[in-house]
Amino acid sequence: MDLASTPRTEAFRCGVRRFLAEHLPPGWRGLGALSVAERARFTPRWRETLREHGYLGVAWPEEYGGAGLSTLEQSALQEEFVRAGVPLLPLPTDPFGFSLIGPTILRWGTEEQKRHFIPRILSGEHRWVQGYSEPDAGSDLFALRTSARLVDDAWVVNGQKVWQTAGDSANWIFVLARTEPSAARARGLSLLLVPIEQPGVEVRPIRTLTGEAEFCEVFFTDARTDAGHVVGARGDGAKVALTLLGYERGAASGALYAGYRVELERLIELIRSRGLDADAGVRRRLAWCWSKVEILRVLGLKTLASVQAGATPGPESSILKLYAAEYHARITELALDLLGSDAMVRSGDPGAAKIGVDPLGTPNSPSAWQHAFLTARAGTIYGGSSQIQRTTLGEQVLGLPREPRPEGGRT
């Protein structure tokens, strides 16, 4: 066991802290403390600051405008940003550009695609969303039916995608589509890059259970994109689309931990302010939450150590996903229990929360916790539901026999 941080990582971390101290507005209390309007003003400016100082696309090679950081450095960077309550991926579409399609293009794309798309992700000119799920293809992703056929020098896309997070602010979508109708399920897919601003694409908002419109459905009617906008080989879409997910979970575990710490501190404040610190049941549930968060830190360290040793993250990354999603559902439920009858009534500053762990500065109000409780349901559904994660762990980590399913299922 050797888990001590190296002087190099610590020096890097100090550099990040210095940058944050120099560039955050005076009196900064965290993104959660900003109103919706303040957020809208702050976010684009902050993104520019990050870009000027090389804090966007940090994992990418320098020749494509990245910073070439190691996994350890990325993890430290993410952690420091979460602690300071400030986003590293400011726009709602940035996670899809920087964590999904960017790395996918860098891994599988042609040189031309890299030179064209990567700088545009950095500049914010291209704002990406993920077009995988369909009404009849969710967990069973490879049952998808959206089709694309090559007509002259363009792909012509028809079909429907659904649940596109940040779809309302995007102008490009990466679409997993069926391009080889005669091939078996998973072998007939390709990953296409499709511009949204064209007559054949229609984006309609969908209201989530909180009442906000955070995701969309996207309709394709003879939508077109360049013949060259396919990532990886034709028919390799399934492989191209899914291989990079594990890497993201590896570097992100530090940030996940830091986020849960911030949330837990807010819960502790809530317990104190409601005078529940002597309640035996509350104390035990708090200790349980604290333990789960600290174990997450250790699991994250273990993942980092293995990534750093050169291991490719495999199906074990499902452990973190399942662990984190289930934990988050529990702590937000505890918060509502602590509110007692106030849990029934919306009151106080709701903050400007989104889906995911609320950032530093989020108000400690019933409304904000109710929002967190409701949105925590998403974690066990998206990105492979908890059931799908358990199947993955059972079959790919424990080696249990597969359940009967159609050829080429997602897991």
Partner 1 sequence: MRFGPNEEQAALRTAIREMLAEHANAARAAYSRPDSRLWERMTGELGLTAVGVPEEYGGTGANFTDVAFVQEELGRALAPVPFFSSVVLATRVLLESGDAGILLPDMVAGKVLATAALVEAAGDWTFAELSTTARPDGDRWILNGEKHFVTDGTTADVLLVLAHAPQGPTLFAVRVAARVAMDALDATRPLSTVILRGSYGDLVGPPGGALPVLDRALRAASIALACEQAGGAAACLDMAVAYAKTREQFGRPIGSFQAIKHLLADVLVDNESASAAALYAAWALDHAPGEAPALANLCQAFNSDAYVAAAKANIQVHGGIGFTWEHDAHLHLRRAISARALLGPPEAHRERIADRILSAPTGESR
Ligand X SMILES: Cc1cc2nc3c(=O)[nH]c(=O)nc-3n(C[C@H](O)[C@H](O)[C@H](O)COP(=O)(O)OP(=O)(O)OC[C@H]3O[C@@H](n4cnc5c(N)ncnc54)[C@H](O)[C@@H]3O)c2cc1C
Which tokens go with 271?
Answer: 């317990």
Distance between CA atoms of 326 and 78, rounded to whole angstroms?
A: 22
Closest residue by beta carbon to ligand X: 138
Which tokens go with 399?
Answer: 């080696």
Contact 166, 129 (CB under 8 A): yes
Shortest distance in whole angstroms from residue 138 CB to ligand X: 2
Shortest distance in whole angstroms from residue 331 CB to partner 1: 14
Please tell me whether residue 398 binds partner 1 under the rule CB under 8 A.
Answer: yes
Q: Give whichever of 72 and 238 is closer to partner 1, judged by the CB atom.
A: 72
Q: Which residues are catalytic?
A: 248
Amino acid at 377: R
The one among 139, 147, 171, 210 contacting ligand X by CB under 6 A: 139
Shortest distance in whole angstroms from residue 286 CB to partner 1: 6
Distance between CA atoms of 148 and 227, rounded to whole angstroms?
A: 10
Shortest distance in whole angstroms from residue 48 CB to ligand X: 25
Which tokens go with 301?
Answer: 């360290």
Distance between CA atoms of 36 and 352, rounded to whole angstroms?
A: 5
From the list partner 1, ligand X, none, partner contacted by residue 1 (C-beta under 5 to 8 A by kind): partner 1
Contact 144, 189 (CB under 8 A): yes
Distance between CA atoms of 383 and 368, rounded to whole angstroms?
A: 24
Q: What b-and-e string marks burial along 157-187, b requiring 16 or more CB atoms within 10 Å of the CB? A: bbbbbbbbbbbbebebbbbbbbbbeeeebbb
The one among 129, 157, 193, 322 contacting partner 1 by CB under 8 A: 322
Other C-beta atoms lying within 10 Å of the C-beta of residue 234: 16
The one among 164, 179, 318, 365 contacting ligand X by CB under 6 A: 164
Please tell me whether residue 272 binds partner 1 under the rule CB under 8 A.
Answer: yes
From the list ligand X, partner 1, none, partner contacted by residue 198 (C-beta under 5 to 8 A by kind): none
Q: What are phi and psi of 165, to 5 degrees?
A: -60, 135
From the list ligand X, partner 1, none, partner contacted by residue 184 (C-beta under 5 to 8 A by kind): none
CB hemisphere CA count around 169 (13 angstroms) = 15
From the list partner 1, ligand X, none, partner contacted by residue 308 (C-beta under 5 to 8 A by kind): partner 1
The one among 133, 146, 318, 392 contacting ligand X by CB under 6 A: 133
Contacts (CB under 8 A) with partner 1, residues 1-60: 1-4, 6
Please tell me whether residue 72 binds partner 1 under the rule CB under 8 A.
Answer: yes
3-state secondary structure of 28: coil
- Site stretch for partner 1 (CB under 8 A), options 20-28, 95-103, 151-159, 280-288: 280-288
3-state secondary structure of 93: coil
Please tell me whether residue 374 binds partner 1 under the rule CB under 8 A.
Answer: no
Please tell me whether residue 277 binds partner 1 under the rule CB under 8 A.
Answer: yes
Q: What b-and-e string marks burial along 339-373, b requiring 16 or more CB atoms within 10 Å of the CB? A: beebbeeeeeebbbbbbebbbbbbbbbbbbbbbbb
Shortest distance in whole angstroms from residue 187 CB to partner 1: 24
Distance between CA atoms of 79 and 86, rounded to whole angstroms?
A: 10
Q: List all residues 6 or more positions away from 382 whose beta carbon is below 8 Å from its beta carbon.
A: 163
From the list ligand X, partner 1, none, partner contacted by residue 219 (C-beta under 5 to 8 A by kind): none
Q: Give whichever of 92 and 363 is closer to partner 1, judged by the CB atom.
A: 363
Shortest distance in whole angstroms from residue 32 CB to ligand X: 19
Distance between CA atoms of 97 and 170, rounded to whole angstroms?
A: 10
* Burial (0-12, 13-18, 19+ Cβ within 10 Å), 400: exposed
Contacts (CB under 6 A) with ligand X, residues 363-402: 378, 381-382, 385, 387-388, 391
Contacts (CB under 6 A) with ligand X, residues 317-356: 355
Residues that bind partner 1 (CB under 8 A): 1-4, 6, 72, 261, 264-265, 268-269, 271-272, 277, 280, 283-284, 286-288, 290-291, 294-295, 298-299, 301-302, 304-306, 308-309, 316, 319, 322-323, 387, 389-391, 393-395, 397-404
